[in-house]
Structure 1
Amino acid sequence: MAQARPYYGDKGFSTAFYDRVTGLDARLAGDVEIYADLAPAGGAVLELGAGTGRVTFALAALGHRVTGIDLAPAMLAQAQAKRIGLAADVAARIELRLGDMTSVDLKRTFALVVCPYFTLAHVPAGAAWRNTFATAARHLDTGGLAAFHLPRMEIMRAPGPADPSQPVMAEPLPEGGKLLLFVRSRTFREAIGRLDQVIEYAVADATGTIRDRSAERLTYYMADPEPAAATAGLTLDRPPIDLGGVGDVWVFRKG
Structure 2
Amino acid sequence: MAQPTRPYYSSKGVSAVYYDLLTAADKKLLGDLEVYAGLANGPSQILELGAGTGRIAVDLAQRGHSVLGLDIAPAMLDQAEAKRKALDPKTAARLRFKLGDMASLALGETFDLVLCTYFTLAHVPAGAAWKNTFKGVAKHLRPGGLAAFHLPVEERMRESPPPSDKPVFMHPLDGGGAVALYILEHSFNPKLGRMDLVMDFVTRPASGAVAVHSHERLTYYLADPVPFADAAGLEVAMAPIDVGGVGAIHVFRKP
Quickly name the TM-score band, shorter chain normalised: over 0.9
1:17-28 matches, within 5 Å, as 17-28=18-29
C-alpha distance after superposition, 1:27-65 (max 9, x if no partner): 111111111111121110000011111111000000000
Q: Which residue of 2 aligns with 1:67?
A: 68
Q: Which residue of 1 aligns with 2:153?
A: 152
Distance in 1 between residues matched to 2:205 and 2:169, nearest whole Å: 15
Asked whether 1:97 is paired with 2:98, we answer yes
Q: Which residue of 1 aligns with 2:194?
A: 194
1:98-177 matches, within 5 Å, as 98-161=99-162, 163-177=163-177
Unaligned runs of 5+ in 1: none
Q: Which residue of 1 aligns with 2:233?
A: 233
Cα pair distance change 1:41/1:14, threshold 3 Å: same
Distance in 1 between residues matched to 2:79 and 2:206, nearest whole Å: 27
The offset of 1:169, in angstroms, is 1.3
Which SS does the other structure have where 1:159 is aligned? coil
Distance in 2 between residues matched to 1:5 and 1:210, nearest whole Å: 21
- AA at the equivalent of 1:158: E
The offset of 1:205, in angstroms, is 3.3
The offset of 1:122, in angstroms, is 0.2
Which SS does the other structure have where 2:28 is aligned? helix
CA RMSD of aligned residues (A): 1.2
**More divergent stretch after superposition (202-211 vs 25-34):** 202-211
The offset of 1:206, in angstroms, is 4.2
Distance in 2 between residues matched to 1:6 and 1:210, nearest whole Å: 23
The offset of 1:12, in angstroms, is 1.0
2:105–2:137 contact (8 Å) kept in structure 1 = no
Q: Give the ranges of 4+ consecutive aligned residues of structure 1 lying more than 6 Å apart after TM superposition.
A: none
Unaligned runs of 5+ in 2: none
Distance in 2 between residues matched to 1:131 and 1:209, nearest whole Å: 47
Q: What percent identity do the matched residue pairs reach?
A: 52
C-alpha distance after superposition, 1:99-132 (max 9, x if no partner): 1000021111110000110000000011111111
Cα pair distance change 1:205/1:138, threshold 3 Å: same
1:202–1:210 contact (8 Å) kept in structure 2 = no
1:45–1:64 contact (8 Å) kept in structure 2 = yes
Give the TM-score normalised by structure 2.
0.97
- AA at the equivalent of 1:220: Y
Which SS does the other structure have where 2:15 is aligned? helix
The offset of 1:207, in angstroms, is 7.9
- AA at the equivalent of 2:37: A
Distance in 2 between residues matched to 1:76 and 1:168, nearest whole Å: 26
Which SS does the other structure have where 2:16 is aligned? helix
The offset of 1:208, in angstroms, is 7.2
Which SS does the other structure have where 1:128 is aligned? helix
The offset of 1:211, in angstroms, is 2.0
Which SS does the other structure have where 1:191 is aligned? coil
Distance in 1 between residues matched to 2:218 and 2:176, nearest whole Å: 27
Asked whether 1:245 is paired with 2:241, we answer no
Q: Which residue of 2 aligns with 1:180?
A: 180
- AA at the equivalent of 2:141: L
Q: Which residue of 2 aligns with 1:56?
A: 57
**More divergent stretch after superposition (73-82 vs 241-250):** 73-82
Asked whether 1:33 is paired with 2:23, we answer no
The offset of 1:3, in angstroms, is 2.3
How many residues matched?
Answer: 254
Which SS does the other structure have where 1:148 is aligned? strand
Cα pair distance change 1:208/1:193, threshold 3 Å: farther
Distance in 1 between residues matched to 2:189 and 2:207, nearest whole Å: 40
C-alpha distance after superposition, 1:137-188 (max 9, x if no partner): 0110101000000000101111122x21221111111221111000000000
